[in-house]
Structure 1
Amino acid sequence: MKVFSGIEEAKEYVGKEVGVSPWYDVTQERINAFADATGDHQWIHVDVERAKNESPFGGPVAHGYFTLSLAPKMMWEVYKMEGVKMGVNYGVNKVRFPAPVPAGSRIRMHLELKELQDIEGGAQAVMLLTFEREGQEKPVCVAESVSRWYV
């Protein structure tokens, strides 16, 4: 885990990878829980038998937004920002899901600090989040996440 002592130290990482999260198990139980939480019970996610028989993926896959929803958890595992009163999610510039995440996969996230600019009361960071699936070269999710850190 990278610990930044403040915004000025973080500026030294613009254009660089900050770190990589630990692996996370994407189980069918977690996919079902996400479906229950969001109301998205599309069969490609939750109907194991139908997904095995009819899906081009050969079985159930995680929701794209399930993968993206892991961003805050994984960001907390990659870095810590000291010297700020609070950090908030400000939005997402761009999100793509280039490859599926089959149930039973393991994924992790690479975090690059893409941009950092001063704003009133703190700084705004744009982070490139690249989620990978174990054993696969193509990423499963790529997103630009925007955070604000207030001092």
Structure 2
Amino acid sequence: MLKYKPAIIRGNASEISALAGGEGGSGVDSTLDSSEVVDTVKQLAVRLDAVVAVSGQVDYLCDPAGRATSVEGGDARMPQVTGTGCSLGALSAGFCAVTDPFTAARAAHAAFAAAGQRAGARTTGTGSFAVAFVDELSAL
């Protein structure tokens, strides 16, 4: 996939670590915390000439020019909902249609965090959270 030079590369901590040649996870489940791969995110952004974003309890993003940011928020149930990571990647790609990749990724991560927080505040279980999360995304 890297031969197509993606503008944004997003993954959980284990996926980003594996991409850099380090320790991977178990399938799509991360065995690492996002804070453990911040240096890897920065190095990959330069090496791959792309925005690299890692999602977790705190999301970290960096671009090849060295711009970096973190996004806090969301809800602890987000990793338990199948497809949230893929949806975050899709939203990042959609935002690239109207702005630069770093701003697009940052806006997508902020939108996901806000929707996750709002959904989490009004639900108690994972199933109701999943539906509320989609509702909150569409309401943003």
Q: Normalising by structure 2, what TM-score?
A: 0.26
Structure showing greater relative contact order (alpha-carbon pairs closer than 8 Å, 6 or more residues apart):
1
Which structure is higher in strand share? 1
